[in-house]
Structure 1
Amino acid sequence: MSELIPELDHVVINVGKQLDGAAERYRRLGFQLTERGHHSLGSSNHLAIFHNNYLELLGFEPGRGHLRKALWQSPPGLSGLVWKTQDADAVYRHLQQRELAGDAAASFFRPVTLPDGSLQEARFRTVALQAEKVPNGRSFFCQHLTPDAVWQPAWQVHPNGVTHISEFVIASRDPAEAAAVYGQLFGEQQVDVLDSGERQIGAGDAVVRFLSSDRASAEWGALPADYDGSTRMIALGFRTRSLAQVHDSLAQGDIPFSEDERGVHVSAGSGGQLALRFSPV
């Protein structure tokens, strides 16, 4: 594998032991969530499935926090940047060549009840970048062995009209340094340098953005309360078919929001330690 093409598969929001509260919050934000799933590795989740990517609320149920314990060391909020692959083992070899490899690719699964009531296992192989290369979170590749157990049309319809994740935002004192690992991973030609100093990577339906802490605060409002200026995943942008649906969902969910020419904003405090923005398709 001489090169990888960056494409966002999904994002992970670390909710720890707050799965119930996080699911309630994201339903109030206007997302349809799947029923709670339980990974063979011990973690549990809810998903919001979109056209070609998805959002994962990842946590654990009572008495299971000792399983996958390393996951819960990241700050609460946005903690996982996950890329698509059709071959996790080939990615691992690529990571070895780029001196970015951690553990070899691993397999796991979770049972799923499909909309028609049938049972299936959603099966995956994942491989991650070295943990020390990704401060305050994880970045890894996910190979879906059973994509139909994830991308069900019935799960892709949301009260807020969202069609896909369009932005993944990382704040840092030094955006160039924060983006450097992805230049090493994908090739420097995949990292765009803007006049503002921002770095961007096109990732399929989304763009991954690396902003200075000051610029991130100016664009996205107050950052997570415990943000200390280090490199951290802090915000998500979504595309929606209808801002009116976003307004209705947030009003019904009693979620405060603001609006400007970029779209409808939900602060990090109301978004569960990450800022959210909804913009029209």
Structure 2
Amino acid sequence: MAALDHVVINTLKSMDAAADLFAALGFTLTPRGYHSLGSINHLMMTPGAYLELVGVPDTGRQRQEVLDSPFGLNGLVLRTFDADATRDRLAASGFTPAGPVAFSRPVEVEGVEHDARFRTVRFPPETFPAGRVYFCEHLTPELVWRPEWMAHPNGFLAIDSFTVSSPEPEEEARRLATAFESTATPVDDGWRIPLDDADVLVVPGETAGFRTATLRFSSLDDIAARAQGRSDAGWQVLGTDAGVLSLPAFDLNLTCRSSR
């Protein structure tokens, strides 16, 4: 069974605005990274899966894959410890995976620059029409999961689930389950695919898309207050221990729940 590695939010050419907004909402962002593929990023780390803001620089090489993707939630990324073996397994299961693709970005640790290195295995866009699904192998995890980036003023702790909408939810769920070496189980509102440390939910929808990621916080008091104090963010209460953070400029809704 695969584990969730990270969830991607595409900012296209609005990285400055996105980084400022997420910082104002109480997330700790890693320093800006510059991928060798022509994209830029900031991470919001947890001990497990993390959130990534990705975009393209104003000048220079620009990653076409990012430019071709819409604003907002557009990357569901699973962890692999052997990209070659994952590619071979997916091919044996009837998929047509691409890669591995190797890339890197500089990371400064205690005044010394290192290269964080990665290898990814991806699917053709038509495989999962809801959005980009791929596997990532971290060759230098010690440069990504750094203790100084784990604490968030708003109490962000983890990513618990990821929700996909589909006009054919059963078929989509079974296809995802095969890719993730998991199973698809019917639930009240769709299909559940358990991962090692999170769930993927596939629900009925008129169009295919990534609907939301569910983030866990130590408490919702801080994130709710920060969202309610801004004109560019919204907060909808779902109960005593849950709410929805909406960021219209990025066509983004994130479900938030408290661990209390």
Structures share fold, TM-score greater than 0.5: yes
Q: 1:279 aligns with which of 251, 257, 260?
A: 257
Q: Aligned partners of 1:277 and 1:136: how far apart in 2? A: 18
Q: Aligned partners of 1:21 and 1:58: how far apart in 2? A: 12
| Secondary structure at 1:104 match in 2 | strand
Aligned to 2:242: 263
Kindly indicate whether the alpha-carbon contact (under 8 Å) linking 1:178 and 1:231 is maintained by their aligned counterparts in 2.
Answer: no
Counterpart of 1:263, as a letter, is A
Q: 2:201 aligns with which of 191, 199, 209?
A: 209
Q: Does 2:127 correspond to 1:133?
A: yes
The correspondence of residues 117-266 of structure 1 with structure 2, limited to 5 A, is 117-187=111-181, 190-196=183-189, 198-213=190-205, 229-251=206-228, 253=230, 255-261=233-239, 263-266=242-245
* C-alpha displacement of 1:256: 2.7
Q: Aligned partners of 2:244 and 2:107: how far apart in 1? A: 33
Q: Aligned partners of 2:130 and 2:54: how far apart in 1? A: 15
Structure 2 alignment gaps of length 5 or more: none
Aligned to 1:69: 64
Counterpart of 1:160, as a letter, is N
Kindly indicate whether the alpha-carbon contact (under 8 Å) linking 1:102 and 1:131 is maintained by their aligned counterparts in 2.
Answer: no
Counterpart of 2:78, as a letter, is W
Q: Does 2:106 correspond to 1:106?
A: no
Kindly indicate whether the alpha-carbon contact (under 8 Å) linking 1:29 and 1:253 is maintained by their aligned counterparts in 2.
Answer: no
Task: Decide whether aligned partners of structure 1 residues 145 and 78 sit closer, same or farther in structure 2, where only a CA change above 3 A counts.
Answer: same
Q: Aligned partners of 1:122 and 1:252: how far apart in 2? A: 36
| Secondary structure at 2:192 match in 1 | strand
* C-alpha displacement of 1:268: 5.1
* C-alpha displacement of 1:253: 4.8
Q: Aligned partners of 1:27 and 1:39: how far apart in 2? A: 21
| Secondary structure at 2:8 match in 1 | strand
Task: Decide whether aligned partners of structure 1 residues 37 and 11 sit closer, same or farther in structure 2, where only a CA change above 3 A counts.
Answer: same
Q: Percent identity?
A: 36
The Cα offsets for residues 189-240 of structure 1, whole Å up to 9 and x where unpaired, read as: 52121143x1111223321111123xxxxxxxxxxxxxxx321112111111
Counterpart of 2:242, as a letter, is G
Kindly indicate whether the alpha-carbon contact (under 8 Å) linking 2:177 and 2:193 is maintained by their aligned counterparts in 1.
Answer: no
TM-score for both structures, normalised by structure 1: 0.85
TM-score for both structures, normalised by structure 2: 0.92
Counterpart of 2:118, as a letter, is F
Counterpart of 2:115, as a letter, is E
* C-alpha displacement of 1:274: 1.9
The Cα offsets for residues 103-159 of structure 1, whole Å up to 9 and x where unpaired, read as: 221211100112x33321111111112321021421111111111100011101111
Q: Aligned partners of 1:74 and 1:234: how far apart in 2? A: 15
Count the aligned residue pairs.
257
19-28 or 156-165, larger mean C-alpha shift: 19-28
CA RMSD of aligned residues (A): 1.8
* C-alpha displacement of 1:83: 0.4
Counterpart of 1:269, as a letter, is P
Q: Aligned partners of 2:96 and 2:17: how far apart in 1? A: 35
